[in-house]
Amino acid sequence: MHRARYLAVVGLLGGMFGAESWKPLEAQDPARCRDPRSVCEGFDRFRLNPSNSPTWSPQMIRDSGRPIVPIFEGWFQNEDGTYTLSFGYASFNLEEALHIPLGPDNFIEPSEFDGGQPTYFKEIHRSIRRPWNTLMITVPEDFGDQRVVWTLRNHGESYSTPGHVTQPSYMIENPVAPARYLQGTASGYAPFIRFDPAEPWVQGLRGTRVGPLSARVGEPLEVSVLVDSGETLYERPESWLYWVHYSGPGNVVFNEDEVEVALTEGEGVGKTTVTFSEPGDYVLLVQSIETLRNSFEYHCCWTNGWVEVTVTN
């Protein structure tokens, strides 16, 4: 019988981790992070040590065969009083990506929240290491001490993470985090995005959704995102977009999955093309953030957009 490992983790810097879950690595060995594909920066600073489970460290990272682990990033309250639980995931594979369809190997409980989670789990990313805050689940204002649990089963093991709204240390500042400005690294404002000039601008992790767009197998589809930096405290000449295959049955190839967007008077357009290997219904995720480095690790500040695509032969 598979053992469920409950992973209540939020990011790689420890500020939003439970102290019982993450601990600094003792006696770090720099040699293990010399691979040019190295993703040890961040991974080598913490190791996950839930009870009755092995220690997680950079030594676990391999080309393939390693876990895909769901992560509870944190929660934030919405203007209407409801709460949003935010989840992401981490891969310990340098080259292997996995399709885990909805069902017994990829499910959320209670079942009323099941169905919107990703089904494609990419390998460790060269720039940001893992997808952050990709799944948003809204729960009612009176949710109290209940839990929403996401479970992934892969490589012969079962991994679960419980989402909750009871611990202040897991609260995410969204879409504005003034403390980021005080640290001198970013403005603390998530960019605004929209897919259609006729639609309103949207800001923050709950993001916006468009589609379904139509595409054919093997034929590139161009997708565009309009970006507005908003009233930021830093004047930047560019913003940044990150694209990822979120769900869908086949393989998805972006001509660019990282897109730098030049801003004129705070606005710009980011474009990429995407090709699909099989027919079916897909979801792409784009994340707009003003600067790439470190910002994801602080859970601030970016905006999500989901693009639904129906692909035919």
Span 7-54, pLDDT tens digits: 333 233 232 233 223 222 222 233 333 333 333 343 333 333 333 344
Residue 47, pLDDT score: 34
Per-residue b/e over 93-106, b at no fewer than 16 CB within 10 Å?
bbebebebeeeeeb
Residue 60, pLDDT score: 75
Residue 279 in tokens:
């027919």
Alpha-carbon distance of 113 to 6, in angstroms, equals: 18
Residue 253, pLDDT score: 97
| Residue 45 Ramachandran class (φ > 0 left, ψ -120 to 50 alpha, else beta) | alpha
Span 254-289, pLDDT tens digits: 999 999 898 888 889 999 999 999 999 999 999 998
Write the CB contacts of 113 (distance below 8 Å, at least 6 apart in sequence).
Answer: 137, 139, 148
* CA dist 216 → 126, 155, 233 (Å): 29, 32, 43
Name the H helices within the chain.
Answer: 40-43, 178-182
Residue 265, pLDDT score: 81
Element (DSSP H or E) covering residue 74: strand 68-77
The answer to whether 228 touches 191, Cβ cutoff 8 Å, is: yes
pTM, whole model, 2 decimals?
Answer: 0.80
Instruction: Report all structural domains of the chain as residue ranges with CATH numbers, in order of start.
Output: 4-170 (no CATH), 183-312 (2.60.40.10)
Residue 189, pLDDT score: 81
Q: Which residues of the chain register pLDDT less than 50?
A: 1-55
Alpha-carbon distance of 22 to 102, in angstroms, equals: 29
Average pLDDT score over the chain = 79
Residue 57, SS3 per DSSP = coil
Residue 286, pLDDT score: 97
Residue 167, SS3 per DSSP = coil
